[in-house]
Structure 1
Amino acid sequence: MNESGNIGASHGSHSLLDRTEIGRTAVVLLAGFTFTAIAFWPSRYFCVVPYEASVRPQLSTLYTAVHAFKALGGSYPTTEQGLSALATKPTLPPLPLTWKSLVKMDSLIDPWGTPYVYRLVDPEKGIIAIHSNGPDLKEGTEDDLSLEL
C-alpha cells in the first residue's frame, strides 16, 4: 500500500512506466516511418536484381522474333521500323512480303517501363542489337542490359 492508501505502484514508478511507454511509442513510430519510406521508394531503384533476371529471357525472345520476321518477310525490320514491326504491321518501307504478329506490344517494354532499343547493325550479316536502358532509364550507361549473341 502506498502513502495515499492505494494498492499498486508509487508515484516514482509511474515515471519509469511513462518512460517505457514513450520508448515503445517511439519504436512503433520509427518502424512506421521506415515501412512507409520503403513502401513508397521508387521500385525501379529498390528491386533491380529480379528485374535484370527477367530482361535476359525477354531479349532472347525479341532476338528470335526479329529473325522470324526476316524469315517470313524477307528482310529484317529497319531501325526506323523498330521492334514495333514485330507487333503491328509496318507502314514504313521496306514492307515485309508476309507479315504476322510475332509478339505482343507490352513485350516491347522493359521492366522499368521503357521500350527496348533496337538497331539493325548489318542486314547482310544479320547483325542486330537489342538492349534495355536499365534502371537508370538512360542509354549508353553502365547499367544497360543486352545479350551477347
Structure 2
Amino acid sequence: GAYGAFCRFSKQSGVWTYLSYRDPNVLATLDVYDGTAEFLRKLALSDDELTKSIIGAIGVLDAYELPDAKGYTSLVRHLLGESDESRQQTRDEVLGTTAADFRAFADVLDAVAAQGRVVVLGAHEALAQANEARGDFLTLQRVL
C-alpha cells in the first residue's frame, strides 16, 4: 500500500485535503476516501477511543516545537491574524467533541465529494492505466 496517508483541513484556505504518497493503488485509495462519509455515519466509537482521538488531536495542536519552528509558527499566526483566543476556541471545540460530531461530519464530507477536485501526481503510465480502468475521469497533464 501507500507509504502514508492523511487528511487535513486548512482554516486559512477552507480546503479539505486527502493525501497519500508513494501509493501504488490510486483507485483503491480514492474509493476509501469516497467511502469516508459512510464510514463515519456507521462509526461506533467507544468512550476510550473517543478520548484517545481527542488527546491525539490536542497533541497535534499543542505539539512541542524547537525554537526555530516556534518562531516560524508565531510568524505565520501573526501574518494570518490568528489570535490566542481563536486557538483556544479550537482547543475547546476539540475537547468537547462527541461521537455524534464524527457522524455529523459525514455530511460535510458528502459536500466535499460532490464539489471537490481530484488531483493525482504520479507516473504517467500508472495514471493512464488507472484512468482507463475508471473511464477517463482524470485529465492527464505532464507537469515536469
TM normalised by structure 1 equals 0.19
TM normalised by structure 2 equals 0.19
Bigger relative CO (Cα 8 Å, ≥ 6 apart): 2
Compare CA radii of gyration and give the structure with the larger one. Answer: 1
| Higher helix proportion (structure 1 or 2) | 2
